Chain A
Amino acid sequence: MRKLILIIYFILFSLLNGIAQNLPALLNGRINYQKRVNLYALLDDLKGLSNDEKLKLNKIKESTGQFFIQDFTLSFQKDKYYFKRNEAGIQNALTAISNLTIFTDLSTKIFYSEKSIGNDNFFISDTIIPIIWRITDETRNIQGVECRRANGLLFDSIYVVAFFASNIPISGGPDIISGLPGMVLEAAIPQFHTTWLATRISVEELKDEREFNSSFKNSKYVNYKSFLDSIKNMSKNWGFLKELFFQEIRI
């Protein structure tokens, strides 16, 4: 049904734009993402643990299960998008972030993000984190939209795979992943055993632009670097799982 709406939308759109018939583009809408983290694989990557820590981990494994699944919604309008976790507070022994919202303004290339780590809230604002992308010729159909694969390098060292939709001409995506000539509908960071997949795409007009911005008015922002510095400070008390938490917080 949803696909049908999308198709109808594209057809209507192309009729309205009589001059250019070819490319119905989706400029306003909402995308639901599911983020999956394979916790067991993450833990298996940890090296140099003591026997005691291994025992602890086994207990933790029992309590968390293999996959940690979170749902997000991304609302977009022309050159702005808003990425938000659906339910705040869901957390387990292996995750650090309890809530997350990111607002990105593509016209100024600045993002505003609110991350809750434990009970601490952080307000971060900086220019969009660059990713070096290599475009490939592989394509995949995600939720009825044709996407092209790109392989990227994040922080010059982390390998990212993303499938972006040329028909959604917003250079955005889930979490930190952006910078492609189209919305990222599926992504993976193999090193972190993390994947994002669009589960639903809907066409709708969004709230007024002012309102769009309002939730980010009052906060005191720090830049990304000083945010990482304060996390590094905090992480001294996090024990042997600190690398794991740090990975999650960085993206």
Chain B
Amino acid sequence: MYKYLIISIIILFPFFSKAQNISIQGRLKDSIDYVNLYNSTVMLLQPKDNFLYKFSRTDKYGTFQIKNIKEGRFILLITCSNYADFIDTISIKGDILDIGTIYMIRKEHLLEDVIVKAIREHAVQLIGDTTVFKADSFKVRPNATVEELLKELPGIQVDKYGRISAQGEKVQKVLVDGEEFFGNDPILVTRNLTANMVDKVQLYDRSSDRSKFTGIEDDNKIKTINLELKSDKRNSAFGKVSSGIATDKYYASSATYNLFSDKKKFAIYSLAGNDGLLGVNEDQSSAEYNGKGIPSVISSGIHFDNKWNDDRNYLNSDYKFLSLNIKGMDNQIIQNNLPNDVIITNSNKNFQNQTIKNEINSKFSQTFSDKSLMNISINSSITHQNNNDKLLQKSYQSGNVLLNDIQTILSSSANNKSFNGGLSWQNKITNGITYTLYLNQNYSSGYSNGRLYSKQNFYLTVDSSSLINQLKNGNNNNNNTVWSNTFTIPLNSSQSSHLTINHTLNINYSKIAKNSYNDTLNLLLDTTNSGNYNLKQFEQFGSIFYTYSKNKLFFNAGSNLGYSKYNLLDNFHSLNSLNRTFTIIEPQMKLRYSFSSQHRITLTYTGNNVQPNTNQIQPISNNDDPLNIYIGNPNLKPTYNNTLNFIYMNFKISNRRTILINTNYTFQVNPIVLATSTDNAGINTFKYINILSRNLNMFNSYLIYSRNFEKINIDINSTIGYSNSNYMNYTNEQSNLTSSSSYNVAFGINKLFWKIIKLRINNSVKYNTFKASIQSSMNNKYWTNTLFPEVESNIKSFIFHMDAVFNIQQKTILFPEFNTFIWNAWIGSQLLKNKNLLIKIQLNDILNQNSGIARSANNNLISQENYSTISRYLMLSLNWNFNKSNNK
């Protein structure tokens, strides 16, 4: 136990050396009978590396003296048989340091509790907006990955796919030592690094690059986890090779190799699989796997970063390749509530989507002197996509009267290239004034080819059938330039308050062309379903922000003011250009008060204009889905969003109690909503309109409480949440007011039995209500309950693991009761001396109940989907971890 004392005290201090004539002296006595302690060893260690600097022994009178010491900080380590080690950090200056009498505690009198409390000192801390977890304070099994460590941290959850959520939000980035490591896929970090490499886990909202350089907060914040590595683990070579083969042609294999040194990191990975757990977590919407179909993935990447020239230069680069092929079936039932009728649509889709992506990200930064810093970043990607969809669809009115049936075959292939280059330059001018230049250039282009075949039969109107057989191609180019200048000016000498002044230009040019050809041989252009647009956007705004930060208070307020010009030229139909100008008024306020480093409140307000996008103003007409047609509204006005957010956080160290309250209220003035009209044949026409009479609002709030009961060694966590949103839309000219609410109570426990069985149970109960003013007889109210038990036991070298998801959904007017019980288990044996080799037999979805069902309700549409997905399989796999520390 006194080992922990050493660990807790070894904090890195700079080590200075100066005068040599200093000496330290003191005396040792027993803490109970005050007897002098003779011949005890007194050592001075250098704090940065624990190296023995000098030592001495006590004489008959228990006194000691060490002479000729250099100035600086040392760890004083006193050892004496049958006594607990005495450890303290001392700072030596002047001539003689007399540390007086030290009373040594006999080992048998040492209270374990005292030591345990000492190590928990900084288990959780709030520093600024960052929550810092000390990794060693949370116990995990040997060889555990960072993912397993994250599961232990209060307020953080990790699902089966490795997706992390913290404080109720999705974590999108995981950094290593503050720097990117394979971009946006957190799994490449969390399943690659081991928990014992991590010193601290920091959780915060990362601002966008622009906001980071200009100091002006914007909306583009993402939840980020940063892993600070232990300094002695920075020098190592490690990795993992795993391979598994399963029934029903499932397989998964991956290999990673990492070589870390003090200033350099090199990593390489490669993976292939179709079990839905591997490499499908790509944060690009074009290639995300959402559980539908069977995904086959091949991916690999290489990463390198290096600091040199006294850390003045830094280079970080990675390259990634991804090939993702998703195949499956999707069956959907949609209920459309009309003012005096209900239309039910039944559709059946076969899909096959293929994505191939190559991506390079690179960042270089250079510090010129203490005064200026330059960053250059380059991101580039090439994506190729192939989609093939086959759709069969039937709609019924008033229960069983057939309205229409449609058969569609849609195939397309697209190539997209994108390039993004950014430059920022920060320079300190005199009197604490800082100037920042930020330039960003983005260029993307793409072209697509495809074919649409659609056969439609309408039964309630005269023109009873139609056939579309078209070739399609498309082209788009987008060019975006951002130029921003910022000055930060301190208002007083103590730098507790400052002013930030900024001017930003944002220029965007786009060309969009889409052509449909009717006769596949002679290529006759279908003018109604083709389009060619030029879009110019010019945005200019200035901002001024005031920041005050002293002691416990942080206050920041200001506003962006400017305008945005929009020019849309339709080259194809009218040759008339559409000009619009929008004003930008975006006030923001943030107030944070930290009672202590474990206790704080934050209040923020943001107001911003949301401008209508091109698809809302003038979409290119599209006949891909003949039952759903979108038309534009050139008179749309921007929506104004007001968001208020309140966060309260309180951690207590001794029992790890966490209280977290997060409340969010948004109201939209002038909201843009969807107006739908459904004709007799069952064709929906959509148009975006403003609602002037009414504001829409959304409210959500939750309270998280968790703590540890030390005596019985249980961690508990609980969440109470409420959310409500009021929405409005128009259906056949009639307004439809919908209101949905959900009440949520969740409770979980986490306990370790006899040091070998780890049990984690979480249960969440939700009550959902859905009200719509149209067809109020179809209003929905139902309970859902989700139970996640997880057991893991580690006896000697055997591991047994079991987890399950038990889902109960109450019967509703529309849907029958719906229960699933997905049960997974694996057993494994750890072989070799360091337990580095794991042989695993895994049974996924033992009861074969993963049927792939999703239900949703929005506006006046309620739908249930039934799709093909990964179900039961038995997998045999082999995992080998290797680790070689290169420390001297």
Most interface-central of A17, A20, A182 (chain B CB within 10 A): A20
Q: Is A166 an interface residue (CB 8 A)?
A: yes
Interface size on A, residues (CB 8 A): 26
Q: Is A181 an interface residue (CB 8 A)?
A: yes
Q: When the two chains form their complex, are residues B37 and A22 in contact, meaning their CB atoms are under 8 A apart?
A: yes
CA gap between A25 and B79 in the complex, in Å: 13
Q: When the two chains form their complex, are residues A22 and B51 in contact, meaning their CB atoms are under 8 A apart?
A: no
CA gap between A142 and B683 in the complex, in Å: 89
Q: Is B55 an interface residue (CB 8 A)?
A: yes
Q: Is A30 an interface residue (CB 8 A)?
A: no
Q: Is A52 an interface residue (CB 8 A)?
A: no
Q: When the two chains form their complex, are residues B52 and A134 in contact, meaning their CB atoms are under 8 A apart?
A: yes
Contact with B along A113-153 (1 / 0, CB 8 A): 00000000000000000001111110000000010101001
Q: When the two chains form their complex, are residues B52 and A166 in contact, meaning their CB atoms are under 8 A apart?
A: no
Q: When the two chains form their complex, are residues B45 and A22 in contact, meaning their CB atoms are under 8 A apart?
A: no
Known A137-B85, A181-B57; judge A20-B39 contact (CB<8 A): yes
Interface size on B, residues (CB 8 A): 31
Q: When the two chains form their complex, are residues B60 and A17 in contact, meaning their CB atoms are under 8 A apart?
A: yes
Q: When the two chains form their complex, are residues B60 and A167 in contact, meaning their CB atoms are under 8 A apart?
A: no
Q: When the two chains form their complex, are residues B41 and A132 in contact, meaning their CB atoms are under 8 A apart?
A: no
The one of B3, B60, B81 in contact with A19, judged by C-beta atoms closer than 8 angstroms, is B60
Q: When the two chains form their complex, are residues B52 and A150 in contact, meaning their CB atoms are under 8 A apart?
A: yes
Q: Is A180 an interface residue (CB 8 A)?
A: yes
Please report which residues of chain B, range 7-55, place their CB below 8 angstroms from some CB of chain A when the two chains form the complex.
Answer: 30, 35-41, 43, 45, 49-52, 55
Q: When the two chains form their complex, are residues A20 and B36 in contact, meaning their CB atoms are under 8 A apart?
A: yes
Q: When the two chains form their complex, are residues B81 and A182 in contact, meaning their CB atoms are under 8 A apart?
A: no
Q: Is A169 an interface residue (CB 8 A)?
A: yes
The one of B2, B38, B41, B83 in contact with A182, judged by C-beta atoms closer than 8 angstroms, is B41
Q: When the two chains form their complex, are residues B60 and A23 in contact, meaning their CB atoms are under 8 A apart?
A: no
Q: Is B492 an interface residue (CB 8 A)?
A: no
Known A19-B38, A22-B82, A167-B81; judge A180-B52 contact (CB<8 A): yes
Q: When the two chains form their complex, are residues B81 and A23 in contact, meaning their CB atoms are under 8 A apart?
A: yes
Q: Is A159 an interface residue (CB 8 A)?
A: yes
CA gap between A157 and B3 in the complex, in Å: 27
Q: Is B649 an interface residue (CB 8 A)?
A: no
CA gap between A165 and B49 in the complex, in Å: 22
Contact with A along B623-637 (1 / 0, CB 8 A): 000000000000000
Q: Is A21 an interface residue (CB 8 A)?
A: yes
CA gap between A174 and B674 in the complex, in Å: 87
Known A20-B37, A23-B38; judge A166-B61 contact (CB<8 A): no
Known A166-B41, A181-B41; judge A20-B35 contact (CB<8 A): yes
Q: Is B6 an interface residue (CB 8 A)?
A: yes
The one of A22, A23, A137, A153 in contact with B888, judged by C-beta atoms closer than 8 angstroms, is A153
CA gap between A227 and B50 in the complex, in Å: 33
Q: Is B80 an interface residue (CB 8 A)?
A: yes
Q: When the two chains form their complex, are residues B51 and A133 in contact, meaning their CB atoms are under 8 A apart?
A: yes
Q: Quick one: closest A residue to B57, CB to CB?
A: A169
Which chain A residues border B154 with CB–CB below 8 Å?
none
Q: Quick one: closest A residue to B3, CB to CB?
A: A137
Q: When the two chains form their complex, are residues A166 and B79 in contact, meaning their CB atoms are under 8 A apart?
A: yes
Which chain B residues border A146 with CB–CB below 8 Å?
81
Tally the A-B contacts, defined by beta carbons under 8 Å: 78
Which chain B residues border A133 with CB–CB below 8 Å?
51-52
Output the least CB separation between A108 and chain B (Å): 17
Q: Quick one: closest A residue to B59, CB to CB?
A: A20
CA gap between A230 and B450 in the complex, in Å: 83
Q: Is B607 an interface residue (CB 8 A)?
A: no
Output the least CB separation between A17 and chain B (Å): 6
The one of B39, B45, B79 in contact with A148, judged by C-beta atoms closer than 8 angstroms, is B79
The one of A19, A23, A150, A180 in contact with B80, judged by C-beta atoms closer than 8 angstroms, is A23
Contact with A along B49-82 (1 / 0, CB 8 A): 1111001110011100000000000000101111
Q: Quick one: closest A residue to B61, CB to CB?
A: A19
CA gap between A166 and B55 in the complex, in Å: 12
Please report which residues of chain A, range 1-40, place their CB below 8 angstroms from some CB of chain B when the two chains form the complex.
Answer: 17, 19-23, 25
Which chain A residues border B37 with CB–CB below 8 Å?
20, 22-23
Q: When the two chains form their complex, are residues B41 and A19 in contact, meaning their CB atoms are under 8 A apart?
A: no
CA gap between A153 and B3 in the complex, in Å: 23
Q: When the two chains form their complex, are residues B49 and A134 in contact, meaning their CB atoms are under 8 A apart?
A: yes
Q: Quick one: closest A residue to B7, CB to CB?
A: A137
Q: Quick one: closest B residue to A20, CB to CB?
A: B38
Output the least CB separation between B884 and chain A (Å): 13
Which chain B residues border A132 with CB–CB below 8 Å?
51-52
Which chain A residues border B6 with CB–CB below 8 Å?
137
Known A135-B77, A137-B3; judge A20-B50 contact (CB<8 A): no
Q: When the two chains form their complex, are residues B55 and A181 in contact, meaning their CB atoms are under 8 A apart?
A: yes
Most interface-central of B2, B36, B888 (chain A CB within 10 A): B888
Q: Quick one: closest A residue to B42, CB to CB?
A: A181
Which chain B residues border A22 with CB–CB below 8 Å?
30, 35, 37-40, 80-83
Q: When the two chains form their complex, are residues B43 and A181 in contact, meaning their CB atoms are under 8 A apart?
A: yes
CA gap between A17 and B59 in the complex, in Å: 12
Which chain A residues border B40 with CB–CB below 8 Å?
22-23, 166
Which chain B residues border A21 with CB–CB below 8 Å?
35
Which chain B residues border A166 with CB–CB below 8 Å?
40-41, 79-81
Q: When the two chains form their complex, are residues A20 and B57 in contact, meaning their CB atoms are under 8 A apart?
A: no
Which chain A residues border B52 with CB–CB below 8 Å?
132-135, 150, 179-181
CA gap between A84 and B36 in the complex, in Å: 37
Which chain A residues border B57 with CB–CB below 8 Å?
169, 181
Known A135-B45, A169-B57; judge A19-B85 contact (CB<8 A): no
CA gap between A134 and B887 in the complex, in Å: 12
Output the least CB separation between A183 and chain B (Å): 12
Q: When the two chains form their complex, are residues A159 and B79 in contact, meaning their CB atoms are under 8 A apart?
A: no
CA gap between A17 and B38 in the complex, in Å: 9
Q: Quick one: closest A residue to B49, CB to CB?
A: A134
Output the least CB separation between B76 and chain A (Å): 12
Output the least CB separation between B458 and chain A (Å): 82
CA gap between A170 and B170 in the complex, in Å: 60
CA gap between A136 and B77 in the complex, in Å: 11
Which chain B residues border A153 with CB–CB below 8 Å?
888
Q: When the two chains form their complex, are residues A159 and B888 in contact, meaning their CB atoms are under 8 A apart?
A: yes
Output the least CB separation between A128 and chain B (Å): 14
CA gap between A133 and B54 in the complex, in Å: 10
Q: When the two chains form their complex, are residues B81 and A20 in contact, meaning their CB atoms are under 8 A apart?
A: no
Which chain A residues border B77 with CB–CB below 8 Å?
135
Which chain B residues border A180 with CB–CB below 8 Å?
52
Output the least CB separation between B886 and chain A (Å): 11
Which chain A residues border B83 with CB–CB below 8 Å?
22
Q: When the two chains form their complex, are residues A23 and B39 in contact, meaning their CB atoms are under 8 A apart?
A: yes
Which chain B residues border A157 with CB–CB below 8 Å?
888
CA gap between A167 and B39 in the complex, in Å: 8
Which chain A residues border B51 with CB–CB below 8 Å?
132-134
Which chain B residues border A167 with CB–CB below 8 Å?
39, 81
Output the least CB separation between A171 and chain B (Å): 8
Contact with A along B243-281 (1 / 0, CB 8 A): 000000000000000000000000000000000000000
CA gap between A133 and B45 in the complex, in Å: 9
Q: Quick one: closest B residue to A158, CB to CB?
A: B888
Which chain A residues border B62 with CB–CB below 8 Å?
20
Output the least CB separation between A16 and chain B (Å): 12
Which chain A residues border B80 with CB–CB below 8 Å?
22-23, 166
Which chain A residues border B36 with CB–CB below 8 Å?
19-20
Which chain B residues border A182 with CB–CB below 8 Å?
41
Which chain A residues border B55 with CB–CB below 8 Å?
181
Q: Quick one: closest A residue to B40, CB to CB?
A: A23
CA gap between A20 and B39 in the complex, in Å: 9
CA gap between A166 and B49 in the complex, in Å: 22
CA gap between A110 and B471 in the complex, in Å: 94
List 6 contacting pairs A-B, 8 Å CB cutoff, sorted by A.
Answer: A19-B36, A20-B38, A23-B39, A133-B51, A137-B2, A157-B888
Question: Which 9 A-B pairs give the minimum distances between C-beta atoms?
Answer: A20-B38, A133-B52, A181-B55, A23-B39, A25-B39, A181-B41, A137-B3, A134-B50, A166-B41
Known: A135-B50, A181-B56. 12 other contacts (CB 8 A): A17-B38, A19-B60, A22-B35, A23-B37, A23-B40, A134-B45, A134-B50, A137-B3, A146-B81, A166-B80, A167-B39, A181-B52
